[in-house]
Homo-oligomer: A and B are copies of this chain.
Amino acid sequence: MSDVHPTVGLDDTVHQRSRLGILALLRSGVAVEFGAIRDELRLTDGNLNRHLKVLEDARLVASSRQTGRGRPKTWVTITAAGVDALEAELSALRALIALAE
């Protein structure tokens, strides 16, 4: 990697603004409720659903639906692969920032 510009290795699945926000929010490993992610990242339901689908298809997050009394809730967690992908992204961003300083 040392000879390659840090942006070359960025993965669009992870780098895209909202998906990067989602993975960063989930980073601790604690499950976060759909509505909390949506509000924190100022997304619409449709937008968040779309980005979660991309991340789930890439197996970077997993979600589970909780039914019972009241409205069903969806809880989202990061996978081990998601943690790795986020770490790789943050490390490339650190290299980019170091280069720009």
Contact = CB atoms under 8 A, between A and B. Distances in A.
A96 B12 contact: no
A86 B40 CA distance: 24
A18 interface: yes
B41 A20 contact: no
Contacts of A4: 42
Interface residues of A, number: 26
A32 interface: no
A17 B12 contact: yes
A5 interface: yes
Contact of A40 (B5, B21, B24): B5
A10 interface: yes
